[in-house]
Amino acid sequence: MKNYKNEIIIGVLMIGFSITFYYLYGILLPFIFGILLAFSVQPIITRIQKIVKSKGLATSIFLAVNTVLIILFFVFFTNYINRDFKRLNQSFVFLTTKNQENLNQTTQKVKEYINNLYDIDQVETLLKHKSDSIINKIKNIDYSKLDTESIKTGFEKATAIFQSQKTNTEQLKPKFSFLFILCSTIGYFILILYQLDYFTRIREKYFGGKIKSIFHTIIDDFNQSFVKYLKLRTKIILLLSLIYISTFIILDMPGTILISLLIILLSYISYLQYLALIPLSISCMVLSVENSQSFLFYFSIVIAVFIIASIIEEWLLKPRIMKDNTGINPVIITLALSIWTYLLGMPGGIIAIPMTGLMIIIFKQYFLKPYEEVIKD
């Protein structure tokens, strides 16, 4: 037991944190995100501090500049989205107006087809007769003879089959909305920025020395297998996004901003970016209405761009940028996203990949290595 004292302490701490995190993730996540964001922007504030000296003033300048940039982005973003929705609405109106005669003809053909199969007047008469008969039978029922309690009990048992039974743990677990977590994260981020020295002293005091040596292997593996992979993957995605965005701008594609952001997010899982072809098909339909070219012309260009981007990624960018950094298997990423989203909702989807990467590293370090030694012996 003494030989595995550190491992036991780490295991107990992890189990305790996991249980607490499961029930209070909406409170802990904003704090964790806030402190990570604060430490990540610390170098920028330090550079500003070289000019204004006061750390509080440097922090205020940093927050003010970023607030202005975010407001300007959303103003542009909102105007662009409004323009795209107007284009989409006008395209649907145009298609409906242009094909109104065809729609009327189709409706008339459907009515004629139904009339040929059934005599509508006879069907209406039969339905009226049946409904009158049912109503009369209901009126003649002697409700005093009905065992309403038995019926109620039977109905409850029958419907219980189709209803999910909430366990005690699910009933105790509080619900946290994504908006609450987002606002709380921003609040913690601002507060921690002004108190960053306090958290820096805590990190140096309690996470240095022996504790640092215990977690050194885990942190180093995490940086190598996840953080480094994420940086390299982001570099590839940003390079490829230039191809997508350039094509969309040249074509004047509706929804360029939203679809480009969607492609960037989906591209972190290999080949998942092809799901963006679904909204792109609607954009191609709008272009075909606004211009003389057909839908297939624009959609073929989009598919060709996706294929070219995939070829460039596999044959040019991955061998040169990624090299031996394979990261987490796409199948494992998809499974992790499913599990974490099921457990915690949208916040679970945000932390799914880093948490899974950390769990895999810990599992390999403290379970697989001892197991391999047992097999060898």
1 or 152: whose pLDDT is higher? 152
Residue 76 pLDDT level (bands cut at 50, 70, 90) = confident
Determine the 3-state secondary structure of 104 from DSSP.
Answer: helix
Whether the per-residue pLDDT at 67 is higher than 70: the answer is: yes
Task: Tell whether 298 is covered by a domain.
Answer: no
Structure tokens at 77: 């973003």
User: 94-136 pLDDT, tens per residue?
Assistant: 666 766 666 566 667 766 766 676 666 676 677 777 777 777 7
**Cα 274 from Cα 187, distance rounded (Å):** 36
% pLDDT > 70, the chain: 66
CA distance 377 to 371: 10
At 246 the pLDDT is 93
Domain that holds residue 78: 8-98+176-206
Q: 36-45 pLDDT, tens per residue?
A: 888 888 889 8
Does residue 196 sit within a domain?
yes
Closest CA to 197 of 11, 46, 50: 46
10 Å CB burial of residue 232 (0-12, 13-18, 19+) is middle
Does 259 reside within a domain? no
The pLDDT value recorded for residue 366 is: 64
The two most distant CA atoms of the chain are separated, in Å, by 92
Is residue 171's pLDDT more than 60?
no
Average pLDDT, stretch 199-205? 76
305 domain residue, yes or no: no
Q: Tell whether 71 is covered by a domain.
A: yes
Residue 121 inside a domain? The answer is no
pLDDT bracket for residue 63 (50, 70, 90): very high
pLDDT value at position 239? 92
CB 312 within 8 A of CB 243: yes
What band does 244 get if pLDDT is binned at 50, 70 and 90? very high
**Three-state SS for 218?**
helix
Residue 223 is assigned to a structural domain of this protein: no
Mean pLDDT of 224-234: 74
The mean pLDDT of the chain is: 75
pTM of model > 0.85:
no
pLDDT for 169? 47
* CA distances, 255 to each of 70, 82, 246, 262, 297 (Å): 19, 10, 13, 10, 18
pLDDT exceeds 50 at position 220: yes
Q: How confident is the model at residue 145 (pLDDT cuts 50, 70, 90)?
A: low
In a domain, 235, yes or no: no
Q: How many domains does the chain have?
A: 1
What is residue 219's predicted lDDT score, i.e. its pLDDT? Answer: 63
Q: How many helices (H) and strands (E) does the chain have?
A: 17, 0
